[in-house]
Amino acid sequence: MADLRRFLVRRLLTFIPTLIGVTFIVFLIAAVLPANPARVWAGGEKASPQVVERLIREYHLDDPLIVQYYFIMKKLLTNSMVSPVTHRYIWQDLTTYFPVTLQLTLVAFFFIVVIGVPLGVLSALKKDTALDAAVRILALVGVSTPIFWLAYLLIYVFYVKLHWIVLAGTPTPPYKITGIPLIDSLLKLDFQTFGQIVKRYWLPGFILGFSGIGVVARIVRNSFLDAYGADFTEFARARGFSRLRIYRHVLKNAMVPVVTVLGLMFGALLAGTPITETIFGLPGLGRYMLNSIRLLDYLALTGSVFFVGLIYVTVNLIVDILYAFIDPRVRY
């Protein structure tokens, strides 16, 4: 347990520099753009000089960059930063838009796990066959296909031709447990609302997770083959274990590196939602970040990156904890 505690402390200490690094880089890129954000916030070319000057003073835009960054982070951490564009607290906006993004990510992650993992196992069991080649092609197509192209293609097929999906509205149940409608409807056994949410989210979720399906399948395949050729597998065969029992034991060992990849992929899905949300008209955090860029609201953008980064490192910490329990060697 002492080794595990030291391992977790080391991982927690990496949180701070990681969050500072990603937020400062985003802030720096946005702040050095050749534009006057205060004039944009005040209404553009017709903005009153007095209002522009007040915004410059209020948001410390005439101070050095490091002072501006300190001001933004202090306000964000104390939940007192008000967006000059929406005139709402930034944390209020983040908690409003995040459930949509999380729902989309959960649906995409579901497709990655339930399709990618079985495909990887089948590809390993059918090594060097047509199925194995098909999985390799799927992985290549997934990572090379533009999301926007695939989205419009499938919208044409499933919405225009087949009418299998809905492209308007975001179902929200009247009750609130976790704040995530997809999860809340399941907890309440409200399958009607759950079905409406799935009908709205399954296609954007599939598109968001499409590139990850082939990648996970390839990783599972390679990991399964490595474990299948290990000494413990030969020992299990020598003892006369059934093929199903051997496969189950091999899969358990093969999933050790896959858990890490899935954790990283979950964080990547959260960061990859802006295009998907914009195409499907989902009012999520990704779309909010794109609007912040368009309106030069780098205060909201920095807060969004901090929020996503916090979730990303938290997910990775959970994965590290699971990994440490699965394979105690990583604690050292």
Instruction: Label each residue of 7-19 as H, E or C.
Output: HHHHHHHCHHHHH
Per-residue pLDDT at 329: 58
Using pLDDT thresholds of 50, 70 and 90, give the confidence band for residue 330. Answer: low
CB 216 within 8 A of CB 116: yes
- Token pair of 310, please? 């916090």
Q: In this predicted model, what pLDDT tens digit does every residue of 266-303 receive, in sequence order? A: 888 887 788 899 999 898 998 999 888 888 888 898 99
pLDDT per residue as tens digits for the range 134-184 = 988 988 888 888 888 999 999 999 988 988 888 877 788 888 888 888 899
Separation CA 218–CA 213 (nearest Å): 9
pTM for this prediction: 0.86
Asked if 18 and 331 touch (Cβ cutoff 8 Å), the reply is no
Listed by start position, the domains of the chain span 96-257
Largest CA distance in the chain: 85
| Percent with pLDDT over 90 in the chain | 22
Q: Quick one: tokens of 313?
A: 């490192």
Q: How far apart are CA 73 and CA 93, in angstroms?
A: 16
Mean per-residue pLDDT of the chain: 86
Cα-Cα-Cα-Cα torsion 131, 137, 140, 146, nearest 10 degrees, comes to: -120
Residue 89, phi then psi, degrees to nearest 5:
-65, 135
Q: Please, are residues 46 and 273 in contact by the beta-carbon 8 Å criterion?
A: no
